[in-house]
Structure 1
Amino acid sequence: MEELKQSIKNLAEIYSANLKGKIDERTIEMQGDDNSHYLIYRVLGISSKQGQEIDLFQNTGRFLYKYAGSFLEDAATLCLKFAYPEGIKTKVENTMGQRPKTFEIDFLNDNDAIEVKWRDATTDGDHITKEHTRVQVIKNHGYKPIRVMFYYPQRTQSIRIQETLRTLYHGVEGEYYGGDEAWNYLQAYTGVDLKNILIEIANERTPEDGNQ
């Protein structure tokens, strides 16, 4: 278990360094940007300084969201691999259409086809259709579709999409875990309390911030 904890810490260090590098790179790039659109910001009551800060936060926020999601999904996969070394990431042929040709399974352990997501904030209705096809294809291949999503979206429409997806999973005799359910499922499935490990790492890196 200590080796797993260290692997997750090492993963956090890598992602943190890469995130900082991307933010620094983008900050330098933006210094040469054409800021003539600040005129419109000012018309709307946003000063040029505020506009610059907003643009910077918007750009760096995209990197943060991407890296946060990838890190958590990779960390969860490390836990799954720790408990089930034979589990693999794989793809299955789409038996219900031409596009896409395949669907990816994040972690396949025997018949358990686990999809690991940190958060899904989509409001796109087509997402439901695509996901329905994906889980049905996985079911047709003889696997049980299992969705593990650690953080629920906060907007009403996105939450409704997730509730519909929950119904879809249950409709094909799959399993859906969101929010606290996901953390509890991962711990029960692997024996690893990932959330507690991440809290320890977070408190080491940003001890002044007790939020989780």
Structure 2
Amino acid sequence: MPIEQAIRDLALDYSTRLLAAIDQRTSDMLADDVSHYLIYRVLGISHIEGQQIDLYQNKGRFLYKYAGSFLEQATKKCFEYAFPESGSIRIPNTRGQRPKTFEIDCLVGNDALEIKWKDATTDGDHITKEHTRIQVIADAGYIPIRVMFYYPNRQQAMRIQQTLETLYQGIGGHYHYGEGAWAYVLEKAGVDLKAILERIANERVPQQASI
């Protein structure tokens, strides 16, 4: 199956499941206890606006989850298309007892890819955990490579990513983000993933001018 068709099928599957999840949650919320809207009103938020905020907060959680999972799976498909022997594996933790294993999202030869659509974490513990993970990957004889498509906007989250980039480079790995991530997929797998996604997006929801 051509890679573009495989990604189109994946997009349709994720879209269908996302809309079904949103519809179910919207229906469930009709029976929710909304007595907490009293506090919303104390803070100047009307009942109707409170409903809209709660609804979109729930929709946002689903959207973020499905968007991230879709892009990560689509990226894996690109590498699996170019390198049929590639795929996810788990390796034992040689640097501690917890967790017992670490997952490599996609192992391509000796390249151990960590695929992220975006990472907005501001948790300092994230650095320690990621440092341990890439050390374990290096112990196993692999090259840790982070591929992250969307860089965070907030300063604290950006600082976390800058530290992670330094950690990757210090252990002999690589860190690709933003346009560099798209370029890495194109160069390594020979698939212009961004162009494929832009075609699908424009067919489903045409680009609108910014306000």
TM-score, normalising length from structure 2?
A: 0.97
Match of 1:100 in 2: 99
Unaligned runs of 5+ in 1: none
Q: Deviations over 1:57-101 (max 9, x none)?
A: 001100000000000000000101111111121011000100000
Match of 1:179 in 2: 178
Aligned equivalents of 2:134 and 2:160: distance in 1? 15
Q: Which amino acid aligns with 1:207?
A: P
SS of the equivalent of 2:32 reads coil
Match of 1:145 in 2: 144
Whether the 8 Å contact between 1:83 and 1:191 is mirrored in structure 2 is yes
Match of 2:9 in 1: 10
Whether the 8 Å contact between 1:203 and 1:210 is mirrored in structure 2 is no
Match of 1:88 in 2: 87
Match of 2:157 in 1: 158
1:51 Cα deviation (Å)?
0.2
1:117 Cα deviation (Å)?
0.7
Q: Deviations over 1:91-136 (max 9, x none)?
A: 1100010000000001111111011110111100000000000000
Q: Which amino acid aligns with 1:103?
A: F
Match of 1:196 in 2: 195
Aligned equivalents of 1:210 and 1:94: distance in 2? 49
SS of the equivalent of 2:206 reads coil
SS of the equivalent of 1:177 reads strand
Match of 2:125 in 1: 126
Whether the 8 Å contact between 1:119 and 1:153 is mirrored in structure 2 is yes
1:210 Cα deviation (Å)?
6.4
- Aligned-pair Cα RMSD in Å: 1.1
Indicate the percent of aligned positions where both proteins have the same amino acid.
Answer: 61
1:209 Cα deviation (Å)?
3.4
TM-score, normalising length from structure 1?
A: 0.97
4+ runs deviating over 6 angstroms: none
Unaligned runs of 5+ in 2: none
1:195 Cα deviation (Å)?
0.3
Aligned equivalents of 2:135 and 2:78: distance in 1? 26
Count of residue correspondences = 210
Aligned equivalents of 2:119 and 2:135: distance in 1? 20
Aligned equivalents of 1:181 and 1:103: distance in 2? 25
